[in-house]
Amino acid sequence: MTEIILDLITLIFSILLFCIIIILLIIYPKIQLKKIEKRISSLKRT
């Protein structure tokens, strides 16, 4: 019984970690791009 629960915890943790990595790889470029675009637009204004 304990093994089944521990298996489930390990599996959920691994899949959550996988999702986090995927989400980070999707979000990171978008955030970086927005930051750079903001800087470009502020530089252009000045």
**Which positions touch other proteins (CB under 8 A)?**
2-4, 6-8, 10-11, 13-15, 17-18, 21-22, 24-26, 29-30, 32-33, 36-37, 39-40, 43-44
Q: What is the spatial distance between Cα 29 and Cα 26, in angstroms, rounded to a whole number? A: 7
Q: What is the spatial distance between Cα 20 and Cα 27, in angstroms, rounded to a whole number? A: 10
* Among 39, 16, 20, residue whose Cα is nearest residue 31: 39
